[in-house]
Structure 1
Amino acid sequence: METQTIDILAFGAHPDDVELSAAGTLLKHKAAGFSIGIVDLTQGELGSRGDIHTRYEEAAASAEILGLTTRVNLKMPDGFFTHSEENLRLVIEQIRRFRPKIVLMNAFSDRHPDHGKGSRLVSEACFLAGLSKVKTFWEAHPQEHYRPPMVYHYIQDRLIEPDFVVDVTAYAEQKFEAIKAYKTQFWDPNSTEPQTPISGEEFFDFLKGRMSGMGRAIGAQYAEGFCVERTPGVENLFDLH
């Protein structure tokens, strides 16, 4: 069985979670020659706007803008997925399939309960994926155990103090383009669908303000923030700035 490795694999509870919080970081690393991919846990079928069909179309359009190597949807039930062995194994399969050096995932806690649930699910799966006695299969072949060396949580609606931030100024406009691929979810003056916390005209002002606030700490126009699960190490102090 041929293995396709991906350098950075980002998980999101819903399609658009990753784009809203970490697309700039993915784009920056893509430009540096790293491969990037997204795994959506659910289809976002309980969203107030759009439907499964449009969400898939929008996710595909966004993937094209981001230049993803892969995008996978695990089809867990939106709003009702649980921290079960079945769901853990679904995530473990993707980690072992792509063997990423870095895994990005939802915030520890957030306004939407799926974000915190998804965070805990993926975090535990990253650990279990490294246990040789946890057996999984892909395309009828046994998978080798593998634990990603770096695991980070992106920051979403609720402000969380970041452990580090990434300057994404050069990629902000492309990030916004990827987000706007989700046409049903964001501002559309002609839409007759219900208003949501992200569908208002002011939402992109909030998003830019959040990114600007993150960037201010490092003297950048825009940045994205991340939290760690363990203390990160550096080879020398000049790797920090």
Structure 2
Amino acid sequence: MDKLDILAVGAHPDDVEIGMGGTLAKYAFYGYKTGIVNLTKAELSSNGTVEERQNEAVDAANVLGVSKRIQLNFPDRHLLDNRSACIQELVTIIRKYRPRIVFAPDKEDRHPDHGHCTELVKEAIFSAGIKNYFPESNPEAFRPDSLLYFQINGVMKPQIVIDITDYIDKKMEALACFKSQFQLGDNQVKTPLNTGYLDQLKGRERLMGNEVGVEFGEAFRSDKPVLIQKVLGE
């Protein structure tokens, strides 16, 4: 497996697709290698079975041109109870695929699992760069260049907006793969996700785009300043 340029980590299947599906589609189009890691199988979700959700996640990844999808098996809503094991799994993945940029959910998200996911990813990135930490995973330490946070729920005040105008349809197509989550069918529980969520999400991405003068954008934050070598394009 080639090294990955981008590695996006979510607590549940569909987290990454909601937050940055357009960005993944865009960079895959330009030939960059992208990957998704899901920490849990979202077995506590109100709708859909684990098997359905896994099949949907595979279909969505294919739509976005994702090079590698990794499904871990930590228990839903108990990520911090498995802190050490989860960090070690993430360290192994980071050292193996050596991504240039890692993405994780915004820390202020209302869902506790999303914030816990980010806490674990942040610690794993630090630990992956320590030579003597968990050397049996891979003896060669590695630390990505950047960690950026994407939004799932709510609307953040972004530091970075990526233009996804040409890829919004791909993003929505990928999210439509998650029928168990975003379509209200017979014998399903009504949730915020299946009562107009996708329309609201597209409106949010339009709002983010408007902030920087494009039609659709995805928003990101960082703990530290982001270096831009050239303000103007070639």
Distance 2:131 2:157 in 1: 35
- Check if 1:12 corresponds to 2:6: no
Among residues 143, 146, 164, which one is paired with 2:142 in the alignment?
A: 146
Distance 2:200 2:122 in 1: 28
Cα distance change of structure 1 residues 180 and 130 upon mapping to structure 2, 3 Å threshold: same
Which letter maps to 1:47?
S
Among residues 151, 154, 176, which one is paired with 1:155 in the alignment?
A: 151
Which letter maps to 1:14?
H
- The residue that corresponds to 2:134 in the other structure is 135
Q: CA deviation at 1:187?
A: 2.1
Instruction: Give the secondary-structure state (helix, strand or coil) at the position aligned to 1:171.
Output: helix
Structure with greater proportional helix content: 2
Distance 2:163 2:135 in 1: 37
Which letter maps to 2:217?
A
- The residue that corresponds to 2:31 in the other structure is 33
Distance 2:139 2:8 in 1: 20
1:1-241 aligned at under 5 Å gives the runs 4-82=2-80, 84-138=83-137, 142-188=138-184, 190-200=185-195, 202-238=196-232
Q: CA deviation at 1:219?
A: 1.2
Counterpart contact for 1:89–1:136, Cα < 8 Å: no
Q: CA deviation at 1:130?
A: 0.4
After superposing the two structures, state which structure 1 stretch, 35-44 or 226-235, moved more: 226-235
Distance 2:146 2:77 in 1: 27
Distance 2:135 2:37 in 1: 18
Instruction: Give the secondary-structure state (helix, strand or coil) at the position aligned to 2:59.
Output: helix
Counterpart contact for 2:9–2:39, Cα < 8 Å: yes
Which letter maps to 2:204?
R
Which letter maps to 2:37?
V
Q: CA deviation at 1:11?
A: 0.3
Distance 2:144 2:151 in 1: 20
Counterpart contact for 2:4–2:98, Cα < 8 Å: yes
Instruction: Give the secondary-structure state (helix, strand or coil) at the position aligned to 2:181.
Output: coil
> What TM-score, normalized to structure 2?
0.95
Q: CA deviation at 1:36?
A: 0.6
Distance 1:56 1:137 in 2: 30
1:71-105 CA-partner distances (Å, limit 9, x unpaired): 01111110111162211101111111110001111
1:166-209 CA-partner distances (Å, limit 9, x unpaired): 01010001110101111100123x33210111111x21221011
Which letter maps to 1:114?
D
Q: Return 5+ residue gaps in structure 1 as ranges.
A: none
Distance 2:30 2:135 in 1: 32
1:135-193 CA-partner distances (Å, limit 9, x unpaired): 2445xxx34110000110001112221111001010001110101111100123x3321
Distance 1:96 1:4 in 2: 12
Q: Return 5+ residue gaps in structure 2 as ranges.
A: none
Instruction: Give the secondary-structure state (helix, strand or coil) at the position aligned to 2:129.
Output: coil
Counterpart contact for 2:29–2:65, Cα < 8 Å: no
1:193-228 CA-partner distances (Å, limit 9, x unpaired): 10111111x212210111011000111111000001
> What TM-score, normalized to structure 1?
0.92
